[in-house]
A and B are shown apart, each in its own frame.
Chain A
């Protein structure tokens, strides 16, 4: 046979083989579609599919890859091997009841035969990832840009601000103009006592001590003119803003927004041992009056900001804990799903916290109400996909653990005391023992001895936990400094829009960028923004010329923190107003979109936003400016005529009477009982609890058993395991951004106040405190301490009757009755609310 004939023969054979393979493939797919897929959908998807959000035994059967990958027991399908295909084995309903599927009953023999045939065919399955057609948006961006919140704040000319003898500041001018429009009249000013108590609670979260109350009340009351009264008030405001207690109070506000907690929440709820550094960063940032634009940059891109020294570097890295402390499903098997959910959580928190915008709604489709196309979500996702998030945990305890960031030697304080030589030796011994125990178990397995799977898991967990504990210290026993935070990847990841947000339905590639509705047309991508000389100049001012981040986080942070962004200053000004008044000018503080409320005083909101920017984004200046308004100093008294027109006090004809937040109620109890420890604790109280998941490695009663007399902001903040007093009084669970807390009133609160040992201990301590006074002054001093005022005559009569009533059937001593009286004061609605 000549060479050319041989080639011709080979060529012909190949063509035949090729066509045969295609035909077989098509036939196999047809067989799958008609005989296999319907059975899987009907009998298996309920417990093993992405759509049902279930993967029993770690198995999903809704994609080819998932079937081949299999679950905890191994691959569901092994092409052409019936014995190795666990799915087939389970259909046969063998002796092992764990491997009998579907659980509702054995399938007909004909169906099992189909599966047999299909596996032997090579298990053809068309359910592989393909690139979908481009998804177009129907969002009308031009129309969207006309919405009030996306317009640049407008400066109201001072001449247009209503002048009135009533108004003390321009803010009052805006308020009184609206009151006039609505036919409302402001109520009287608050009395000095009410005002002082309000100021202390709003600015520091603590009640005034009796001598402070007396002193400031006197100074305000005795002011000879309105001007001197304002001077006295401003002195008090300044003193309170300078107090370290201010940062604890306002840092706690931001923790609600930043959904700060010290555990992952979600499926396993593993403890974050290092989240406290971000907590302390927030408190310090508020105390130091860090400009809010810097505050934004540090939380989103602190790790990328140019630095002046190591300490600044470490603090900036800690600030990025903002992106790391959210809820995570660390038991998730699919790393890519975890990553997508992590990014979703970061986008949601970042956009709601700083922009009052719910961008995460556009993960699966265009936003239903706001002008945010799905592409915008993935433009932001591209930025966060190019970011690595470090949140820690131990691999043996959480399937999706990460490393932490090591800041040892850069300046932040240690979170744990140093170890003595003996303690270090013990730790090493523990680690070695755990290793040896695991090695022993592995030896047994290798020699054929069965070791219970749970035991093996426990031993691995022990080894990793002791190893991690040891790595927390240097060889000399000095604690190392770890933090949660973010870092840029070495390269950005290409990001595709996902149809319906499903990982296996990628469509067009989306360039990284910011929201289109807040950008000039066609200038929303990072690449386009970098062509803008003003943006380049601003970024250059941050650091060395041409310094850019790989991820685009620095550029994102700068876009959010820009004075040109119409939302940022408005959103934080509104938050400050909300924290001062109990309600925002926009009631929906986290949603400035179409479904949120419109501002009751739009011009005032713009005025506050512009003032904030002009004052170098100083939150303290804004607090001061608001506290000095006549509007904020109004009484909370009732007025029937005003109430008829504006029952909800939307137009600020009086101050809102409100219940204090859970942390403030607890702190106030400790403060009046004299038990409050004002020192910041070292690190976190959770250090004593250890690593691991709640219910697995650490236990709820142990966490709840932690007692401390420090301020509530330092209490352990484990998701779903909040301290009882915080839980009862509506502290948020930190699952997502909570700019405005719920305020409920329930019998549980009263029962808690009457029966909880913590409250009883504070009442006893308050009794001890007032017992130092002469008997005749005890009632008054107790009332002064708890409520900031002396008792009325009626109250004295009632109290005296209670204490001196010898006919009382109970066997309480006078001291015990005084303690009961003190507890009654702590239970009073007046104690836990401000006028």
Chain B
């Protein structure tokens, strides 16, 4: 009991240390409700600046693992973590600029974590998590399918210039 309390306290006070970090590149493994299993990208993701900030995402529940608890330079170990996403967080698509590989946030994803891209994850999703202090502000997810309305490639990489509209109900007879 004494030991658990101590570990809890350590975690509680550890958070401000992490509060300097503001963006973290992760791979999302699984989403359930408002919780998300993520693995921090080794090296901060493609195109991420070296020496970039570590993240400050609070892992929840305590003791179930965390990511982003490393100082810059300590990003070689991929650790899985469960994070809780607050309802106020903005969930958007994201993309890497073709030429510079810079990350750009895209349009908001309807439904947030209820969006279908999170509901049926076939393969891990690359994402950026933007935080302020210990609060998650934004999650920007890179997936070809999320921006089908803003690009001309579908999730399989094939060009798409038109999609079939959703069929409305039939009129009552």
Which A residues are within 8 Å of any B CB, using their own CB? 3, 7, 10-11, 14-15, 17-19, 21-22, 24-25, 64-65, 68-70, 72-75, 78-81, 84, 122, 128-131, 303-308, 313, 316-317, 333, 335-336, 339, 385-386, 388, 390, 392, 394-395, 400-407, 464, 467-468, 471-472, 480, 482, 485, 487-494, 543-544, 547
Contact = CB atoms under 8 A, between A and B. Distances in A.
5 contacts: A14-B13, A75-B102, A79-B52, A306-B169, A405-B163
A491 B115 contact: yes
Contact of A129 (B10, B115, B137, B151): B137
A577 B107 CA distance: 43
Interface range on chain B (Cβ under 8 Å from partner): 35 or more
A594 B160 CA distance: 47
Most buried by B among A128, A317, A472: A128
Interface string B122-161: 0000000010100001000000000011111000000111
Interface string B86-107: 0010001000000010111111
A548 to B, nearest CB: 11
Given A69-B103, A386-B110, 7 more contacts: A14-B13, A18-B15, A339-B108, A405-B163, A471-B161, A489-B110, A494-B112
Contacts of B171: 306-308, 543
Interface of B: 3, 6, 9-10, 13-17, 19-20, 22-23, 49-53, 72, 88, 92, 100, 102-108, 110-112, 114-116, 130, 132, 137, 148-152, 159-172
Contacts, number: 183
B149 A11 contact: no
A305 B166 CA distance: 11
Contact of A303 (B6, B19, B163, B168): B168
Contact of A304 (B3, B13, B72, B168): B168
B111 A491 contact: yes
A547 B167 CA distance: 13
Given A69-B103, A74-B100, A482-B162, A464 B152 contact: yes
A463 B15 CA distance: 50
A458 to B, nearest CB: 15
A492 B165 contact: no
Contacts of B6: 7, 11
Contacts of A406: 162-165
A27 B88 CA distance: 28
A131 B88 contact: yes
A403 B165 CA distance: 11
Contact of B132 (A128, A400, A489): A128
A267 to B, nearest CB: 17
A441 to B, nearest CB: 13
A204 to B, nearest CB: 34
A401 B152 contact: yes
Contacts of B108: 336, 339, 385, 493
A647 to B, nearest CB: 53
A332 B168 CA distance: 33
A335 B107 contact: yes
A468 B152 contact: yes
B115 A335 contact: no
Nearest to B111: A491
Which 7 pairs of residues, A with B, have the shortest CB-CB distance?
A491-B111, A489-B110, A406-B162, A78-B49, A404-B162, A18-B16, A491-B110
Contact of B51 (A78, A485, A547): A78
B111 A403 contact: no
A493 B167 contact: no
Given A404-B161, A491-B114, A544 B16 contact: no
A251 B16 CA distance: 64
Nearest to B106: A335
Contacts of A339: 107-108
Contacts of A392: 161
Contacts of B14: 14, 18
B159 A467 contact: yes
Contacts of A308: 170-171
Given A22-B16, A128-B22, A130-B132, A317 B161 contact: no
B169 A544 contact: yes
Contacts of B49: 75, 78-79, 81, 84
Contact of A491 (B23, B112, B169): B112
B110 A403 contact: no
A495 to B, nearest CB: 10
B162 to A, nearest CB: 4
Contacts of A3: 3
Contacts of B20: 21, 24-25, 122
A400 B19 CA distance: 35
B149 A480 contact: no
Contacts of A402: 149-150
B105 A336 contact: yes
Given A306-B169, A308-B171, A488-B166, A84 B159 contact: no
B88 to A, nearest CB: 7
B110 A21 contact: no
A480 B149 CA distance: 19
A135 to B, nearest CB: 17
B164 to A, nearest CB: 5
A97 to B, nearest CB: 21
Nearest to B94: A335
Contacts of A472: 161
A543 B152 contact: no
Nearest to A543: B169
A226 B173 CA distance: 48
Contacts of A75: 49, 100, 102
B17 A69 contact: no
B51 A80 contact: yes
B137 A21 contact: no
